[in-house]
Amino acid sequence: MDRYGYSIFCDDIRNEPGGKLSFVGCYNGVIFISGQFPLVLPKLCVHTHILSPASRPFSSILVRCYLPGDEQPFAEEPVETPRQAAQNELVASLKPETSAPLYIVAATSLIFTPIELRSSGLMRIRALVDAEQEIRLGSLRIEQSRP
């Protein structure tokens, strides 16, 4: 079992009653931009989930966002993880009803207001876990609309 994750790219993330999240204007792998680069979007959001087998609790997580053409992250966001002992306690208290493996899940929302896009290409989301393992959390292709 290995660690993995995914991202949802959208126009807005809203907190709803009961602890629910609503994702507004979700992108399906690509965003088409009208106008010339560079340009500024008023808002772009990314919600990430990182999963780790219960046998490998998280020590630290740093989510990084790379814009097209950049080798250095545009943004970095540490994700708060419970203390190791708390994670171990939680896992020990679970009584799985199936033989499916147990996972610990960490999530965060990145909200960029505004965001400048200098070129087309891939917006990439990565997580550095325990300061040693980089996990790919997804990407969004940024394309210029054709007239």
SS in 3 state form for the chain? Answer: CCCEEEEEEEEEEEECHHHCEEEEEECCCEEEECCCCCEEECCEEEEEEEEEECCCCCCCEEEEEECCCCCCCCEEEEECCCCHHHHHHHHHHCCCCCCCCCEEEEEEEEEECCEEECCCEEEEEEEEECCCEEEEEEEEEEEECCC
Radius of gyration in angstroms for the set of CA atoms belonging to the chain, rounded to a whole number: 17
- The total number of structural domains that make up the chain: 1
Give every CB contact of residue 8 below 8 A, 6+ residues apart in sequence: 23, 26, 46, 47, 48
101 contacts 54 by C-beta, under 8 angstroms? yes
pTM of the model: 0.88
At 7 the pLDDT is 98
The pLDDT-based confidence of 1 (bands split at 50, 70, 90) is low
Range of 22's domain?
4-144
Kindly state the average pLDDT of the residues 104-113: 94
Pairing of strands 30-33, 133-144: parallel
Residue 71 corresponds to which tokens in the numbers above?
A: 């080798």
Among residues 136, 108, 133, the alpha carbon closest in space to that of 123 is found at: 136
Whole-number Å distance between alpha carbons of 66 and 76: 9
Among 32-41, 42-51, 58-67, 75-84, which is the least confidently predicted range? 75-84
State the CATH number of the domain containing residue 138: 2.60.40.1930
